[in-house]
Structure 1
């Protein structure tokens, strides 16, 4: 499933570059519409019918977009085939509804006739009433010169004091009481006829909408299937836009190796800030990776980056990492990251983590990825470190891939000693001590709690006391780690120099081989040219000799023959 969606996203990324984004629109959900249309005799409102029409129009545009080049994009063409043209519903809706979603006059001959009668009666009634309010003889009685509606009937505003000046029926009164809305007697019959004509029009329009609703009801299953297919196309379009906007690439799924090159946290990309990419890897012959380093150095972000990229890949999404990044196929990703303290469940920070670890241990196994952020934290450091080592050892026996962070010296020692684990550390600036968010492999980093506290302004007296109280074992391990890091940096420097020298020698060797090849080519070319020149000389000499023999046959001349031989020998010697 993931590979199929990755194939579709890959094709859509290319198509979007050439032809623009998938033309999906903000169509409403069909479920409420189909639910309203389901009962026999149900009649949908015009706006609901228009929503179905617009939905089918969007389906058609997306279908045409996806099958633009079925040879180059066969998977998109297959998806387009699932977006069928439900013409039996689309065409009647398009014929019957106008651009505003209202039923057209020509939806049926009966409706056209009914609306024509309604318009004529309304025109006649308004004209008669306009004539009344503009009659100079009634100027003192008419409150204002306009025609309005009250209770669905056309009326005119008459001053209350002059109500008897116009015979008619009072339909309403203004809030001030100074004006009444009067239906003149001559308008009563016209209003009655208009009301009946409007009822006929409404009944015919309702009949038309009932027919359209019946079509929607009869094809509800097909409409729901189209909605599902359109949602899939819309999701693919969003995935392609995300991949293009944030420089994502297709991950390689399968195999035993986990290798994310230049991976970036997906959510950090949204903020628009520069994100330092990470190289996260667990070789095929290892079961896990221990990440160490200072506080705020990037350890938790690394775990989240890995977890989110793995989830994205298995959801069929491109990931924010370099080309060639690969992940094993996973059945589950199990994580314990962050503070799960819960007052409602009566769980402390440590209790919440312990509960999570127990659940992870039950679910872990081959085919799962376990992400643990500082296991054993939140309790006594000695007991917490022992528990962390025990949990990690147990998980390694269960067979999942494990990536975890830790500050505990015992956990670092365990990771260094285990042949099943790789170690890596986030490094810091050697001058300022500030984190550089770069992951260095085959080393363990210090937590640097005291230097970080000093940088954040903790009092010097507090730091001096902390340094005096620092346990001997922790101090010795810190010194050992420092020496190890210094040795590693020295080896890395010498290795880089060796690599540079090897690269220089390889370049020089390549240049020498290229030069030798060029000389050999030139020599071969010279041989060819010399051989061709010799052939031409011999051919010319032969021609001259034959000409001389012909001449001597006609008139013998030994001196000429000796002269020719002497000249030929000289020319041959010169060559």
Structure 2
């Protein structure tokens, strides 16, 4: 993409907005190198990555990216056999730790949807666990070598500490004893890596030893007393031994990681990419941007598009379509109406999309993939180059015309301005004709009324304007496609108090064609307004009818479902009862038949058949409305005050305390009273009296429900499920407050816990535990 359009449309400011969201030097480098491209597959890949980043930000709060500096120079030194210092090794250690954290994050990731690209990116990371562990054990984050780096180093440092303690003890005899009167100050300091005391110059021979330095005034000398010479010598030898051991450790660690420079370089690049993707996601969330859809035919259709650099409270959104029904849009209207901002909005959003960024527009907005975006916007006159405004515009447009083709988007602001109106209008029409012949998509703004007629006469061209409110004398900044702009000079002058005679005289001086054109535009605006009002009313009626239809359909479906459930239950119960009756009847009939076979003659065969027929009439296919068995069963299931019931939606038992209406009851479940419908309740058959005597009620069962829940080490979904179950149990147990231990970690579970508590109406308040009880690693909940 040509650098000129990036400057005109302020693409660099978009990149600056993303800078605060970056954590790594490599991510910053990738941002600096970001430019729009014209390869559709590359743009789609970048958009897929941004979509993954946005989804992870929404669900998991973003990627766990640590602050990382570049390790490129250190890796180059490793490649030539150099030993790294502590700061370089610490930087490599942090990179390996960040790599491992990202691998673990994606390994433990559980999402209800699939990511498009990031798993493939993370699969290329190399953990190097042994090397990472050795570096973490040996080097502190600031580059200091730790005692655990080697047993020899630990022993040397132990000796050093003992020697320093001896020296300070000896020195304390001078600073706190009778010798303190010879000192300028009663303190111990260091000169030439040796412990010394500040002695007044006249007493410099009082302590013997060596003078290492003196003050600027010469009144103080820094003396190493004779009594500590040997101790300082030993300390110095130990310090040299320490330095030698540290250099050996540096060399050993450098040699350990030298074979993996390629892997470390790749890790740095991949972590930088993930950091950059995370920054794109955060910026998209900040400006409420959405994923653009790439149109293979370059049919752009931006829905409610907003300029991303304008205050969201002031910016006006517009629909901007181009490329499908028309290739050229001619925007007319007065100054300060928003024409320039509209052109910049279209151009900048197109650049953002072709750079893989989400765009500030409504979902389902479509963008094209243009080879180039050209723009001639703003006043580029130059005193040094002796160029007028008109000349500067023409020079820029000439360069555009020399390079433009049918895969380009051209934005022209105030086309033909700065010269004689008749010549400027003719030149503007000729330029638009040329661009139309080439096949480029063009949006041009102008003041010339001749171009309003051009928009009607040329195929593939449409007029547009920026709406102006004559009542308030203010532009609304709304883009009106299909309606040319008109001059509001007469209306504005009249409203500001211009005498009507002058306004009428001015109208008479206008030529007929201009007057006819303004009248035509006025009629079009009235028709557009009427159409908009009618469309709004119809849309409102359609929305209300659609909502009513959906509600009726849902209610009808619910009714059918409940009816089918009740019918199925009734049939099952009736079938069971009839089956039992038929079994008993078969037994009776068999007994009667046996009696007859044994010689009884008073039982006739036709009596047996009639009895069998009457029993078969109890089959469940018959209407059940008057079935006495079902009526008795239904009566047993009727709910009343004092009945023990099971709350089906929660799996808890309770007691009905009040009947609110025909289908709603108040149910006491533990310490909680709930309003429930009869379909959510199931009557519990009361136990026998002798069993009831054996029931022991235990209230406030704190022995069964702990006042603390530990969620550490659990996955997010598992932790949230356990939290929900625990809160219910704690409420039923009668606890006034409980403690949720969630740890600190990445903060995902902590945030999830507090989001849940915020939405639970049984929670009175919650706060972090005191510092002595876990601090922000635990939350205390009050019911």
> What TM-score do the two structures reach when normalised by structure 1?
0.80
Aligned to 1:18: 59
Query: Secondary structure of the residue that 2:309 maps to in structure 1?
Result: helix
- Alignment CA distance shift 1:338-1:157 (3 Å): same
Post-superposition Cα deviations, 1:278-301, rounded to whole Å, max 9, x if no partner, equal 010125132121122221111111
- Are the equivalent residues in 1 in contact too, given 2:470–2:491 (CA < 8 A)? no
Query: Secondary structure of the residue that 2:212 maps to in structure 1?
Result: strand
- Alignment CA distance shift 1:413-1:103 (3 Å): same
Q: Is 1:76 aligned to 2:118, yes or no? A: yes
2:270 to 215, 218, 229: 229
- Are the equivalent residues in 1 in contact too, given 2:147–2:154 (CA < 8 A)? yes
Aligned to 2:522: 485
- Are the equivalent residues in 2 in contact too, given 1:295–1:449 (CA < 8 A)? no
Q: Is 1:406 aligned to 2:446, yes or no? A: yes
- Alignment CA distance shift 1:318-1:498 (3 Å): closer
- Alignment CA distance shift 1:242-1:451 (3 Å): farther
Post-superposition Cα deviations, 1:514-568, rounded to whole Å, max 9, x if no partner, equal 99xx9xxxxxxxxxxxxxxxxxxxxxxxxxxxxxxxxxx99xxxxxxxxxxxxxx
Structure 1, 120-129 or 476-485: larger mean CA deviation? 476-485
- Alignment CA distance shift 1:449-1:165 (3 Å): farther
- Are the equivalent residues in 2 in contact too, given 1:407–1:446 (CA < 8 A)? no
- Alignment CA distance shift 1:411-1:162 (3 Å): same
2:196 to 155, 159, 165: 155
Post-superposition Cα deviations, 1:61-101, rounded to whole Å, max 9, x if no partner, equal 23333451377225221121123213354233212112443
Aligned to 1:54: 94
Q: Is 1:119 aligned to 2:119, yes or no? A: no
Task: Give the distance between the partners of 1:289 and 1:236, measured in 2 at CA.
Answer: 35
Q: CA deviation at 1:328?
A: 2.2
1:300 to 340, 343, 365: 340
Q: CA deviation at 1:486?
A: 2.5
Aligned to 1:382: 422
1:169 to 191, 203, 210: 210
- Alignment CA distance shift 1:94-1:511 (3 Å): closer
- Alignment CA distance shift 1:301-1:128 (3 Å): same
Task: Give the distance between the partners of 2:388 and 2:80, measured in 1 at CA.
Answer: 54
Q: CA deviation at 1:272?
A: 4.4
- Alignment CA distance shift 1:300-1:452 (3 Å): farther
Q: CA deviation at 1:128?
A: 1.6
Task: Give the distance between the partners of 1:511 and 1:213, measured in 2 at CA.
Answer: 73
Aligned to 1:280: 320
Structure 1, 428-437 or 297-306: larger mean CA deviation? 428-437
2:371 to 322, 325, 331: 331
Aligned to 1:533: none
Aligned to 1:352: 392
Task: Give the distance between the partners of 2:546 and 2:391, measured in 1 at CA.
Answer: 64
Aligned to 1:184: 225
Q: CA deviation at 1:373?
A: 1.0
Structure with the higher fraction of residues in helix conformation: 1
Q: Kindly report which structure 2 residues correspond to 1:26-41, keeping only aligned pairs within 5 A, or say none.
A: 26-35=67-76, 37-41=78-82
Aligned to 1:570: none
Query: Secondary structure of the residue that 1:393 maps to in structure 2?
Result: helix
| Residues paired across the two proteins, number | 514
Task: Give the distance between the partners of 2:389 and 2:105, measured in 1 at CA.
Answer: 52
Q: CA deviation at 1:398?
A: 0.9
- Alignment CA distance shift 1:181-1:320 (3 Å): same
- Alignment CA distance shift 1:32-1:352 (3 Å): farther
Q: CA deviation at 1:154?
A: 0.8
Q: CA deviation at 1:468?
A: 5.5
- Are the equivalent residues in 2 in contact too, given 1:295–1:448 (CA < 8 A)? no
Task: Give the distance between the partners of 2:174 and 2:137, measured in 1 at CA.
Answer: 41
Q: CA deviation at 1:454?
A: 9.5
1:7 to 12, 35, 48: 48
Q: Is 1:426 aligned to 2:466, yes or no? A: yes
Q: CA deviation at 1:377?
A: 1.8
Q: CA deviation at 1:347?
A: 3.5
Query: Secondary structure of the residue that 1:44 maps to in structure 2?
Result: coil
Structure 1, 30-39 or 354-363: larger mean CA deviation? 30-39
Structure 1, 419-428 or 500-509: larger mean CA deviation? 500-509
Q: CA deviation at 1:203?
A: 1.8
- Are the equivalent residues in 2 in contact too, given 1:433–1:451 (CA < 8 A)? no
Please, what is the CA RMSD of the aligned residues? 3.7
Task: Give the distance between the partners of 1:53 and 1:491, measured in 2 at CA.
Answer: 66
Q: CA deviation at 1:306?
A: 0.7
Q: Kindly report which structure 2 residues correspond to 1:508-547, keeping only aligned pairs within 5 A, or say none.
A: none
Query: Secondary structure of the residue that 1:267 maps to in structure 2?
Result: coil
Query: Secondary structure of the residue that 1:94 maps to in structure 2?
Result: helix
Structure 1, 126-135 or 403-412: larger mean CA deviation? 126-135
- Alignment CA distance shift 1:130-1:508 (3 Å): closer
Q: Kindly report which structure 2 residues correspond to 1:445-484, keeping only aligned pairs within 5 A, or say none.
A: 445-448=485-488, 472-473=510-511, 476-477=513-514, 480-484=517-521
- Are the equivalent residues in 1 in contact too, given 2:126–2:263 (CA < 8 A)? no
Aligned to 1:105: 147
- Alignment CA distance shift 1:487-1:265 (3 Å): closer
- Are the equivalent residues in 2 in contact too, given 1:294–1:435 (CA < 8 A)? no
Task: Give the distance between the partners of 1:99 and 1:502, measured in 2 at CA.
Answer: 63
- Are the equivalent residues in 1 in contact too, given 2:322–2:328 (CA < 8 A)? yes
Residue segments in structure 2 that go unaligned for 5+ positions in a row: 1-41, 557-605, 608-783
> What TM-score do the two structures reach when normalised by structure 2?
0.60
Post-superposition Cα deviations, 1:364-411, rounded to whole Å, max 9, x if no partner, equal 112211111112222332222222111111111111111111111222
Structure 1, 255-264 or 91-100: larger mean CA deviation? 91-100
Aligned to 1:524: none
Post-superposition Cα deviations, 1:330-352, rounded to whole Å, max 9, x if no partner, equal 22211111122344544433222
Q: Kindly report which structure 2 residues correspond to 1:388-399, keeping only aligned pairs within 5 A, or say none.
A: 388-399=428-439
2:254 to 194, 208, 213: 213
Post-superposition Cα deviations, 1:305-336, rounded to whole Å, max 9, x if no partner, equal 11111111122221111111112222221111
